[in-house]
Structure formats: C-alpha cells, structure tokens
Amino acid sequence: MKEKIQFPKDFWWGAATSGPQSEGWYGKRHENVMDYWYRVQRNDFFNGVGPDVASDFYHKYKDDFAMCRQIGMNSFRTSIQWTRLIKDLETGEPDPEGVQFYKDVIAEAKKNGIILVMNLHHFDMPIELLQKYGGWESKHVVELFAKFAKTAFEAFGNDIEYWTTFNEPMVIPEAGYLYGFHYPKLVGKGKEAVQIIFNINLASAMAIQEYRKMHLNGEIGIILNLTPAYPRSDSKEDLDAAAFADDFFNRSFLDPAVFGTFPKTLIEILKKDNVLWESDEKELEIIKNNTVDFIGVNYYHPKRVKAPEADHFENWMPDRYFSDYDMPGKRMNPYRGWEIFPKAIYDIAKNVQDNYGNIKWFISENGMGVEGEEKYRKENGEIEDDYRIEFYEEHLAWLNKAIQEGSNCFGYHAWTPFDCWSWNNAYKNRYGFIAIDLNDQKRTIKKSGYWLKDVADNNGYEY
C-alpha cells in the first residue's frame, strides 16, 4: 500500500544551474577556462557544442523564472560568473553591465516568489588567471577571488539571502589535475592537487570573512559533492582504502567548512608522504574562524573502493591508498553510466547528523542524466521521463527517512531546472524538468516538471 511521504513545512523544492552553464556568451566578459578550452580544442566537446549560447538564460531568464514557478519551484540556484561581474580582475572593480544583469536576475526571481541561492564559483576560473598565475595553485588568485566575492556582496549582499562560495570544489583538483577530464586536463599532479585543496578552502574562508565583515542579513555556505566511499569488504585493507577516500574526497572540504580544521588522519598521510600543502598560521586562522552557516550536498552516485592495486606512481597520487572497485551487479543509469544508489542520500544525511553537529543542509544537486532523451517525446510534445520521476521518488524517500530521524535537511534541489550546457559533455546528458530545443531555444515542460509541481503543492507524494 502506498503511503504519503511528507516533508517539513517550508521545505525547498527547486533546482540548480550555474552561470557558465546557462547564460551563454553575451555582454562584455572575460574568458573562463571552459570558454578557452572550447576555443582551442572544440572536438573535446560533445557534438562540438560550446558555451556561446548555452541555454540563453541571459535573454530568457524572465521566461525561465516564470516556468520554474509554473512547475512549483520555490527556490533556485545559479552562480555569478567571476568573468562577467568583474571588469578588473586584479582590483575586483565591477563591470556595470554585469552588475545590472545580476540585479535584474535577482529582481525577477523575487517577483516570482523564488528564493535564490547564489553561488560564486562553479569551475569557471578566468583563463587569464590560470595562464598568468597558475589558477588555484596560486595564493594571489585566492586573494583575487576574495576581492570578487567582496564586490559581489557589496553589489547584491542585501538582496540575496543564501550565498554559497563554491560548487563541488573537489572537482577542480580531481578533474583538472589528477585525472584530466576538465581543463587544464593534467593527470597525476597529486602535489598540485593537494595545494589546490588547501587554496580553495582558504578562498572560501576568505570570502566568508568578507561576508561576515559586512554584517549582512543572509547566510553563507558551500556546496560539496559528498560521495560516500563504500568498501568492497570488511577487510582491514578495504576499510582503510574507504577511510582514505572519504578523507581525501569528502572530508578535505567538509571538515574545514564546518569545523575550520582538516582531518588529522589526512594530514598525517600527506605529511608522511611529503606532499602536505604550504600554509601559514594566519591562513589556518582564517579557515578556523570562517566556517559556514549551512551546506549544500550534491549527490549523484556513490564511490565503491577497494585496497589499492597499483603500487607505482611517478608522482604522488591519492590512488596510492585506494582503487576504484567495479562492484558486480550494481544498478546503473543506462544513459549516463553512473551507478544508481538512492540509499547513499540517507547515509550522507546520517553522517552530517552524527558527525557534523547536525548542521543544517540541503540537497543542492541530484539528478538523472539521459542521453538521447528526444526519443521519449510524445506526440503532444511532452517528454515522458518516467525514469527520472522514479529516480527522484526513490532518492526523496531515503531523504525523508533521514529527516524523520532528525536530519536537519531543509530542501531538495534537482540538477537542473532546464537542460543546460555541461562543459565538455555539452548537451549530451539532459537533466532538466524543462527541455530545451537547441535549434530554437524553445522550452517544453517534461512530465517530471508536472510531477514536481504536484510534489511541491503537496509538500510530498504518495509512495
């Protein structure tokens, strides 16, 4: 028999995108690493599609907010592009056109009664800062980020209630410096990746420091991709591998964000291996004193790990301490090739509740990417994405169980409101509640959009 899965009062029902993935290349702005990558290596991008038009949010934000409202969303996340807001990257001087654009976006969200979560960095480092200083490897760039943050708070501080500093900061070292799937596409740069982890934590804390200095009314947090690391077995070797993967990929950002300190076990290993980041007392103080008010958690798939297999690395790599484990029989998303494991949402919630002071948090991304979704379009034009509805209902049921058990979760954001540009995967994997036809930018609500409206209206669903 079905039962009602009921969520707490004022629960957030929404979805997330980001500036670089939705706005398109309009107005005056600097080039970011993704724009540059597309300019120099176009065939790295699915179907050769780049960020020039993206989802044309720059022109269509009014229609988009109206449609988001129509499908029941009470909240929405995007990001301010560093490359759009800032005219002078060294001084942090704003570009009036950029300021005006985000002011208009903020006003429009308000008009539609939509709570806006505004993020500051979603993989979009200005290319000049990478080429000139080494991007996140550089402490000078950390300072420039803090200036950008300060400019953003000065311009919109009182209009935004919920700020976040970074989206999935771990992806920057992981994808750009360890495994080479995002620009600068480096592989095996463990030491650099470790320094970047520190520098981004410092950048986030410095942004929070700027925010606190202004005594604004809202709250500030960070969005982390917390990926539970499940061991292959209960053997000591597999358990150690899982503990390391958790320290490195999750806790290296979660602990400083919430407690202002890094996991001791991680520091010991990095010290022993002679790859610990360079830091000074002042920087550690800033991290210690500028923790978050809330966290956002992006969850797509778990990590399965086993004791390390390889024993030789040219440079230091986290893979010295774990290997990925391809678990037989795991349930897969046939389109995106990611494992589907809804219970991980419950495990994340319990971890936050039990080990992180039950800090308030929300699911800031969760979603099912589908390639070739057009084949599910019906005659009336609607995409019948039952697979996505099923995916959400399963994940939400586990989230609800955790909330019933006391987890301090205040919302659920899917990835994404409308299909958007996903870096080198471009529009390969569609995630939206609203489909976008890339030929004419026409929007159509998918079946999951109407489902969301129902869930939001009832603050729950029958399951």
CB of 370 to ligand BG6, least distance (A): 10
Residue closest to ligand BG6 (Cβ)? 422
Q: How far is the CB of 170 from ligand BG6 (least distance, A)?
A: 10
Q: Is 168 a catalytic residue?
A: yes
Report the C-alpha gap between 392 and 359 in whole angstroms.
24
Token reading at 30: 């600097």
Taking CB under 6 A as the binding criterion, the range among 84-92, 124-132, 186-194, 422-430 that sits at the site for ligand BG6 is 422-430
The answer to the question of residue 415 lying near ligand BG6 (CB under 6 A) is yes
Report how far apart, in Å, the C-alpha atoms of 439 and of each of 38, 55, 59, 420, 436 are: 20, 11, 16, 14, 9
Active-site residue, from 23, 174, 283, 365: 365
SS3 content of the chain, % helix, strand, coil (to 5): 45, 20, 35
Within 2-61, the residues that bind ligand BG6 by CB under 6 A are: 21
Q: Is 75 in the site for ligand BG6 (CB under 6 A)?
A: no
* Closest distance of CB 41 from ligand BG6, Å: 17
Tell me how far, at minimum, the Cβ of 167 lies from ligand BG6, in Å.
5
Nearer to ligand BG6, 316 or 431 (CB): 431
How far is Cα 322 from Cα 305, in angstroms, rounded to an integer?
A: 6
Of residues 26, 292, 283, the one with CA closest to residue 164:
292
Using CB under 6 A as the binding rule, whether residue 336 contacts ligand BG6 is answered as yes
108 as an active site residue: the answer is no
* Stretch of 125-133, 346-354, 421-429, 445-453 contacting ligand BG6, by CB under 6 A: 421-429
Rounded Cα gap, residues 409 and 10, in angstroms: 11
Per DSSP, the residues of 226-288 read: ---EEESSSSHHHHHHHHHHIIIIIIHHHHHHHHSS--HHHHHHHHHTT-PPP--HHHHHHHH
At residue 421, the 3 state secondary structure works out as coil
Q: Figure out which of the listed residues 298, 351, 366, 448 binds ligand BG6, where binding follows CB under 6 A.
A: 298
Is there binding between residue 168 and ligand BG6 (CB under 6 A)?
A: yes
Q: Applying CB under 6 A, what is the total number of residues that bind ligand BG6?
A: 12
422 binds ligand BG6 (CB under 6 A): yes
C-beta neighbour count of 305 within 10 angstroms? 26
Task: Report the alpha-carbon distance of residue 333 to residue 430 in Å, rounded.
Answer: 13
Is residue 119 within the footprint of ligand BG6 (CB under 6 A)? Answer: no
Asked if 419 interacts with ligand BG6 (CB under 6 A), we say no
Q: How far is the CB of 169 from ligand BG6 (least distance, A)?
A: 11
Using alpha carbons, select from 370, 403, 418, 417 the residue that is nearest to residue 13. 417
H/E element, 366: none
294 lies in the binding site for ligand BG6 (CB under 6 A): no
- Which of 51, 263, 369, 460 forms a contact with ligand BG6 (CB under 6 A)? 369
Q: State in angstroms the smallest separation of the CB of 367 from ligand BG6.
A: 7
Reduce the DSSP state of residue 19 to 3 states and report it. helix
- Dihedral sign, Cα of residue 124, residue 130, residue 133, residue 135: positive
Task: Tell me if 425 contacts ligand BG6 by CB under 6 A.
Answer: yes
Which residue in this structure is represented by tokens 């597999």?
238
Q: Is 303 in the site for ligand BG6 (CB under 6 A)?
A: no
**Does 429 contact ligand BG6 by CB under 6 A?**
yes
x/- binding map, residues 211-240, to ligand BG6, per CB under 6 A?
--------------x---------------
Catalytic residue among 23, 168, 174, 283: 168
User: Nearer to ligand BG6 by C-beta: 7 or 415?
Assistant: 415
Paired strand residues for 436: 443
Type and span of the H or E element at 155: helix 139-156
Kindly tell me which of 126 and 369 has the beta carbon lying closer to ligand BG6: 369
Residues 208 and 33: their CA atoms lie apart, in Å, by 24
- Give catalytic residue positions: 168, 365
Residues that bind ligand BG6 (CB under 6 A): 21, 167-168, 225, 298, 336, 365, 369, 415, 422, 425, 429
